[in-house]
Amino acid sequence: MKKPYKKMPVIYFDDYCLRTIKKSDANDMFEYGKDKEVTQFLNWGPFILPIEAKKSITRIYLPRHKEGLPIGYSIIDVKKSKMIGTIDFHSKIKNINGVEIGFVLHKDYWNKGIMTNALKRMVDIGFDYLGYEKMTMKHLKQNIASQKVIEKIGFKLIKTNIYILEKRDQVIKDELLIYELLREDYHGNQ
């Protein structure tokens, strides 16, 4: 495996781009991170104070290279120079050269195909640039939008677990669907 990169290549698609997350993204991250609907199925948020977005960038995203992972991508609306979400390799898979991917997008940008495009680019980067053998993704069963994006890119369902997500004002008990995409299957479908 190649060494994890602190800075990743910038990737453009349509009016959007993926570039390494920066401290200066904190205000834009707060804007979608304080939204209860955006964060309802995530294990963080909704943010109450802007400092929470800042801490998430400096304490979670930026130190990823210390765990042998590349720093995550911000998704940018290029015309507005606005950060509208993230997509990142957030955890290593044990005993194999692989990673788990996570993503989130500002609600104003949902259902325009942005995350499907972003995930396609992440998978290309993961297999072709970083040399991973396997990528995994997870979502709660009721998170249909996530499921659609994950399936459109060709991830295969491998397992389900019962998962309890504790949010500030509610506890969600749901099935957690776990998917994987293997290098040989991905390239086999090209």
Ligand X SMILES: CC(C)(COP(=O)(O)OP(=O)(O)OC[C@H]1O[C@@H](n2cnc3c(N)ncnc32)[C@H](O)[C@@H]1OP(=O)(O)O)[C@@H](O)C(=O)NCCC(=O)NCCS
Alpha-carbon gap, residue 39 to 47, rounded angstroms = 9
Q: Does 148 bind ligand X (CB under 6 A)?
A: yes
Cβ atoms < 10 Å from Cβ of 58: 12
Should residue 145 be labelled a site residue for ligand X when binding is judged by CB under 6 A? yes
* Distance of closest approach, residue 87 Cβ to ligand X, in angstroms: 8
60 phi/psi in degrees, rounded to 5: -110, -55
Among 20, 56, 136, 146, binds ligand X (CB under 6 A): 146
Which residues in the 125-144 window bind ligand X by CB under 6 A? 139, 143-144
Q: Among 9, 63, 68, 113, which residue sits at the site for ligand X (rule: CB under 6 A)?
A: 113
Question: Do 92 and 68 contact (CB within 8 A), yes or no?
Answer: yes
Contact call for residue 122 and ligand X (CB under 6 A): no
The beta-strand segments (E) located in 37-92 are 73-77, 82-92
Complex with ligand X: residue 88 or 134, whichever CB lies closer:
88
Residue 34 within binding range of ligand X, rule CB under 6 A: no
Residue 85 falls in which region: left (phi positive, over 0), alpha (psi -120 to 50) or beta: left
- Residue 84 contacts residue 28 (beta carbons within 8 Å): yes
Determine which residue in the list 116, 142, 160, 161 makes contact with ligand X, applying CB under 6 A: 116
Helix or strand or coil: residue 49? coil
Contact of 97 with 103, CB cutoff 8 Å: no
| Binding flags for ligand X, 43-82, as an x/- string (CB under 6 A) | ----------------------------------------
Q: How far is the CB of 189 from ligand X (least distance, A)?
A: 18
The reply on whether position 36 binds ligand X by CB under 6 A is no
Closest distance between ligand X and the C-beta of residue 139, in Å?
Answer: 4
CA angle 182, 186, 89 (to 5 degrees): 60
What residues make contact with ligand X under the rule CB under 6 A? Answer: 38, 41-42, 103-105, 110-116, 139, 143-146, 148-149
